[in-house]
């Protein structure tokens, strides 16, 4: 490490005047030290976690792999998106409805402590719910590791020239080293078109490859051989004392030279020149309410592996690269003062932790979020969960589930702006699916129409509240989940999609519209009993969480209703729900501003128990929502600044996603230095493989950072009359003095490229993919106002 740092210092001037243009193949995480193998036999302890977050992630939405790349005993930790324990459960609690009116009454009278007590025994799920994040042996379940592929090369002699890298542009890991005069290479990728993982081992001397491969997992597995494959199968715990999902993983070797022998527990290769390993895996899970099962996983995986084995390595690779590079390459971001790839990723991180953030790390962070979304969320897959598609545990942190009160929404913040809207599809399929059990929850808990869900959900359609009020009572969940629907439409202009999602959107709207409480004095509409995740206030020394009309709930409802009205207008739909929502939207009680000028978190001035709380829930209307913005609501913008500054002053931002959220908020406030400061908080704490550190690894911080960077470069959330406002470099910090971005998307279906030098915009190209009107702004000046013809690129005078 020391040597690398010295090299860095010595070559700084060289870096500064070098050509900073990012070449495709430059988007790399690169390491020169081998992952350690001394913890290989202890798969679940903390030491292993340290190794795990040094391993390099690959994936295709459904399959995930973490490549350790060790010379002697390679380990590839495996995931399959639906490896979930648990099973469907009825956890809706009829006691909730009986107490609903009393709860509203107590809150209307300001009797918060009593309300909290009543809620604690009524407004929670029936049964054990998520089991407070230890759901793996309960019906709630947990996302689990598929296990490990071990490749034991049994060669203990010294090696040199070790290098391990992850090429983000090609979604490929490479390992190379020299041993006994032979250069060995390994290439790993997970193919979306062929739905298999491919590992090629090669050497520059014939017959040099001999190894034994195994598959195992921490529990519930057996291996056998058949059809020239090593096969691992098992059933997962259903959480009710029986068996849940069935799974299979199949491993096959295609050698050049040498021989392959399969036993019931191993795949042995002797004296090959080169070997291609193929792995396919699946469970019998189906995203179909109410049973969630029925996929022919055996047949599917058998077909996938045999079809892949008929193709050459080159063909599989070409198909993988054609698919991945065409998506990844649509956008990029590059800074002039970046060091390119001269420095190893761990050196860049080491410097960052010592307050010297190389511009390269911003570029990598931007690209990494894009990479991780493309590898954990693709059409046909489940959405990216709390850890994307990667976990090495049987009980993942927070069950590796879907948290709605920030984490799942943040996962998708970069999807549209980074021009990879395809990654958004799994979220929409999932929303449609949870809307079904969510209908039952809306009826049982609230006696209302439509559907809802609370802060935690899983692949089994769990939509009830959690078992604790402070975090688990969140009737507003569907509102946040559904915001992505209109965002996708605004970015793509896809009316068919909007039509397809309308009923689901209407269901969420219907529930919330009925849930509103009319204030007898003002006639305004207040959100029902709700929390401001996961903050508390203190009254008379007692901590409570619930009030009517929390700012968070009011803002989400405003956004959802606004979105619904827009969708109804686009689709030319008028209905009773539309008229009702149009009326209620006009009479929603506004977010109040406090005596100290801050945007208030609750609808009366209450002292927050944690002034630096990590959640920024009462600012959701500023970002990612559109309710508050610099053009239409300057007074709220000022109040938001005060709220944010107070939060930061008291320590907010040190949880990855929280810092990333602050970056986006500050970008919307056009505060570049605060935005980059927020990003730095997250970047400095990244794990060795650049995974975001939540408390353990949580992926939404990675996505939030990418989205935050994009928000600093380009904004399009404001519609002014018939013009979409496209703001170029709205929050450019001095650290990013010279650079360019390409292929970012703006709402209204525009694609934008820009370059700048010494802080000034130098070139700008805008393409309208729908032929829409826009107003292009730079530093508060209008560069262009008018209509752009469809599919024509315009160079805008700067």
Quote the DSSP letter at residue 445: I
Rounded to the nearest whole angstrom, what is the least distance from the CB of residue 698 to ligand FUC in the complex?
Answer: 6
Nearer of residues 54 and 405 to ligand FUC, judged by Cβ: 405
Nearer of residues 405 and 749 to ligand FUC, judged by Cβ: 405
Nearer of residues 407 and 441 to ligand FUC, judged by Cβ: 407
Nearer of residues 86 and 694 to ligand FUC, judged by Cβ: 694
Residues forming beta bridges with residue 260, ordered by sequence position: 269
Q: What is the CA radius of gyration of the chain?
A: 27
Tokens representing 391 are: 């976990």
Q: Give SS3 for 116.
A: helix
CB atoms within 10 A of CB 8: 20
Sign of the CA dihedral running 512, 515, 520, 521: negative
Contacting positions for ligand FUC (CB under 6 A): 386, 398, 403, 405, 407, 471, 534, 614, 655, 694, 698
Instruction: Give the integer Cα–Cα distance in Å for 512 and 99.
Output: 18
- Helices 112-122 and 95-108, axial angle in degrees (round to 10): 170
Q: Label residue 307 exposed, middle or buried (CB < 10 Å: 0-12, 13-18, 19+).
A: middle
Determine contact, residues 127/390, Cβ cutoff 8 Å. Answer: no
Instruction: Give the integer Cα–Cα distance in Å for 68 and 38.
Output: 12
Q: Label residue 98 exposed, middle or buried (CB < 10 Å: 0-12, 13-18, 19+).
A: exposed
Nearer of residues 460 and 471 to ligand FUC, judged by Cβ: 471
Strands 773-778 vs 723-728: parallel, antiparallel or unpaired = parallel
Determine contact, residues 118/98, Cβ cutoff 8 Å. Answer: no
Nearer of residues 347 and 678 to ligand FUC, judged by Cβ: 678
Instruction: Give the integer Cα–Cα distance in Å for 411 and 714.
Output: 19
Rounded to the nearest whole angstrom, what is the least distance from the CB of residue 383 to ligand FUC in the complex?
Answer: 15
Overall size of the chain counted in residues: 798
Q: Which residues contact 7 (CB under 8 A, 6 or more apart)?
A: none
Determine contact, residues 508/560, Cβ cutoff 8 Å. Answer: yes
Nearer of residues 342 and 403 to ligand FUC, judged by Cβ: 403
Rounded to the nearest whole angstrom, what is the least distance from the CB of residue 92 to ligand FUC in the complex?
Answer: 21
Determine contact, residues 196/304, Cβ cutoff 8 Å. Answer: yes
Rounded to the nearest whole angstrom, what is the least distance from the CB of residue 430 to ligand FUC in the complex?
Answer: 17
Rounded to the nearest whole angstrom, what is the least distance from the CB of residue 471 to ligand FUC in the complex?
Answer: 6
Nearer of residues 267 and 406 to ligand FUC, judged by Cβ: 406
Rounded to the nearest whole angstrom, what is the least distance from the CB of residue 396 to ligand FUC in the complex?
Answer: 10
Nearer of residues 283 and 530 to ligand FUC, judged by Cβ: 530
Rounded to the nearest whole angstrom, what is the least distance from the CB of residue 659 to ligand FUC in the complex?
Answer: 12
The residue among 621, 602, 604, 624 whose CA lies nearest residue 613 is 602
Q: How would you label 351-385 residue by residue, b for 16+ Cβ within 10 Å and e otherwise?
A: bbeeeebbbbbbbbbbbbbbbbbbbbbbeebbbbb
Nearer of residues 277 and 652 to ligand FUC, judged by Cβ: 652
Instruction: Give the integer Cα–Cα distance in Å for 620 and 609.
Output: 20
Rounded to the nearest whole angstrom, what is the least distance from the CB of residue 502 to ligand FUC in the complex?
Answer: 30
Tokens representing 249 are: 């993983």
Nearer of residues 162 and 703 to ligand FUC, judged by Cβ: 703
Rounded to the nearest whole angstrom, what is the least distance from the CB of residue 701 to ligand FUC in the complex?
Answer: 9
Beta-strand ranges (E) seen in 192-242 are 196-203, 209-216, 222-226, 229-237
Instruction: Give the integer Cα–Cα distance in Å for 479 and 627.
Output: 14
Nearer of residues 150 and 398 to ligand FUC, judged by Cβ: 398
Instruction: Give the integer Cα–Cα distance in Å for 88 and 460.
Output: 5
Rounded to the nearest whole angstrom, what is the least distance from the CB of residue 398 to ligand FUC in the complex?
Answer: 4
Rounded to the nearest whole angstrom, what is the least distance from the CB of residue 455 to ligand FUC in the complex?
Answer: 7
Q: Give SS3 for 37.
A: coil
Nearer of residues 342 and 685 to ligand FUC, judged by Cβ: 685
CB atoms within 10 A of CB 722: 10
Rounded to the nearest whole angstrom, what is the least distance from the CB of residue 692 to ligand FUC in the complex?
Answer: 11
Tokens representing 753 are: 């490229």
Q: Give SS3 for 450.
A: coil
Nearer of residues 345 and 405 to ligand FUC, judged by Cβ: 405
Determine contact, residues 353/684, Cβ cutoff 8 Å. Answer: yes
Tracing tokens 């600093």 back to the chain, one arrives at: 712
Nearer of residues 701 and 748 to ligand FUC, judged by Cβ: 701
Rounded to the nearest whole angstrom, what is the least distance from the CB of residue 2 to ligand FUC in the complex?
Answer: 36
Rounded to the nearest whole angstrom, what is the least distance from the CB of residue 130 to ligand FUC in the complex?
Answer: 11
Instruction: Give the integer Cα–Cα distance in Å for 388 and 689.
Output: 14
Rounded to the nearest whole angstrom, what is the least distance from the CB of residue 656 to ligand FUC in the complex?
Answer: 9
């Amino acid at each position: 490490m020391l040597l690398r740092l010295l090299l860095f210092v010595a070559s700084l001037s060289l870096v500064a005047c070098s050509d900073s243009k990012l070449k495709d193949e430059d988007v790399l995480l690169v390491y020169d030290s081998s992952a350690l193998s001394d913890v290989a036999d202890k798969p679940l302890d903390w030491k292993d976690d340290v190794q795990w977050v040094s391993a390099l992630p690959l994936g295709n939405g459904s399959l995930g792999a973490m490549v350790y790349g060790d010379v002697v005993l390679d380990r590839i930790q495996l995931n399959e998106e639906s490896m979930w324990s648990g099973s469907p459960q009825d956890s809706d609690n009829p006691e909730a409805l009986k107490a609903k009116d009393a709860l509203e009454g107590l809150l209307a009278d300001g009797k918060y402590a009593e309300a909290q007590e009543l809620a604690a025994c009524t407004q929670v799920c029936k049964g054990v719910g998520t089991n407070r994040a230890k759901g793996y042996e309960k019906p709630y379940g947990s996302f689990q590791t598929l296990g490990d592929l071990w490749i034991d090369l049994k060669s203990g002699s010294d090696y040199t020239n070790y290098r391990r890298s992850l090429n983000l542009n090609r979604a490929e890991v490479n390992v190379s080293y020299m041993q006994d005069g032979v250069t060995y290479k390994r290439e790993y990728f997970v193919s979306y078109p062929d739905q298999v993982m491919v590992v090629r081992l090669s050497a520059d001397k014939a017959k040099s490859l001999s190894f034994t491969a195994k598959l195992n997992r921490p529990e519930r597995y057996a291996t056998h051989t058949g059809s020239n494959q090593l096969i691992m199968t098992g059933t997962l715990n259903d959480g009710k004392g029986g068996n849940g999902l069935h799974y299979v993983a199949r491993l096959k070797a295609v050698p050049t030279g040498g021989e392959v022998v399969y036993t019931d527990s191993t795949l042995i290769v002797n004296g090959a020149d080169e070997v291609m390993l193929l792995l396919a895996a699946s469970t019998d899970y189906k995203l179909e309410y109410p049973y969630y099962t029925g996929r022919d996983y055996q047949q599917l995986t058998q077909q996938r592996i045999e079809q892949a084995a008929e193709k050459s390595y080159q063909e599989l690779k070409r198909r993988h690269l054609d698919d991945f590079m065409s998506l990844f390459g649509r956008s990029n971001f590059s800074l002039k003062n970046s060091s390119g790839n001269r420095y190893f990723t761990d050196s860049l991180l080491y410097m960052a932790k010592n307050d010297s953030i190389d511009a390269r790390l911003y570029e990598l962070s931007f690209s990494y979020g894009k990479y991780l979304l493309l590898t954990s969320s693709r059409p046909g897959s489940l959405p990216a969960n709390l850890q994307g598609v990667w976990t090495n545990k049987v009980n993942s942190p927070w069950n590796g589930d879907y948290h709605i009160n920030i984490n799942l929404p943040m996962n998708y913040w970069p999807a549209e702006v980074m021009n990879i809207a395809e990654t958004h599809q799994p979220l929409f399929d999932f929303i449609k699916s949870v809307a079904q059990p969510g209908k039952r929850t809306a009826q049982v808990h609230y006696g209302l129409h439509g559907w809802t869900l609370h802060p935690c959900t899983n692949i089994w359609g769990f939509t009830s509240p959690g078992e604790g009020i402070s975090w688990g009572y969140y009737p507003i969940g569907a509102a946040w989940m559904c915001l992505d629907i209109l965002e996708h439409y605004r970015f793509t202009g896809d009316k068919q999609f909007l039509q397809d999602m309308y009923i689901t959107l209407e269901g969420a709207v219907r529930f919330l519209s009925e849930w509103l409480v009319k204030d007898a004095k003002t006639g305004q509409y207040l959100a029902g009993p709700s929390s401001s995740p996961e903050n508390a206030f203190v009254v008379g020394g007692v901590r409570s969480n619930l009030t009517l009309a929390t700012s968070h709930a009011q803002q989400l409802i405003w956004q959802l209703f606004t979105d619904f009205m827009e969708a109804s207008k686009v689709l030319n739909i008028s209905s009773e729900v539309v008229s009702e929502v149009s009326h209620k939207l006009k009479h929603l009680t506004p977010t109040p501003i406090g005596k100290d000028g801050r945007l208030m978190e609750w609808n009366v001035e209450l002292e927050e128990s944690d002034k630096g709380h990590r959640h920024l829930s009462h600012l959701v209307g500023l970002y990612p929502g559109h309710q508050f913005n610099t053009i239409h609501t300057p007074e709220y913008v000022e109040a938001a600044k005060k709220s944010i500054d107070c939060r930061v002053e008291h320590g907010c931002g040190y949880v990855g996603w929280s810092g990333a959220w602050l970056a986006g908020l500050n970008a919307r406030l056009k505060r570049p230095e605060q935005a980059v400061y927020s990003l730095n908080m997250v970047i400095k704490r990244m794990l060795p493989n650049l995974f975001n550190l939540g408390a353990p690894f949580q992926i939404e911080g990675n996505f939030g950072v990418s989205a935050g960077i994009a928000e600093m470069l380009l904004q399009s959330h404001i519609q002014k009359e018939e013009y979409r406002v496209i703001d170029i470099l709205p929050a450019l910090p001095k650290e990013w003095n010279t650079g360019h971005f390409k292929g970012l998307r703006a709402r209204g279906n525009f694609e934008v490229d820009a370059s700048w030098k010494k802080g000034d915009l130098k070139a700008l190209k805008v393409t309208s993919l729908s032929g829409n009107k826009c107003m292009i702004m730079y530093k508060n000046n209008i560069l262009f106002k008018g209509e752009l013809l469809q599919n024509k690129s315009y160079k805008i005078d700067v």
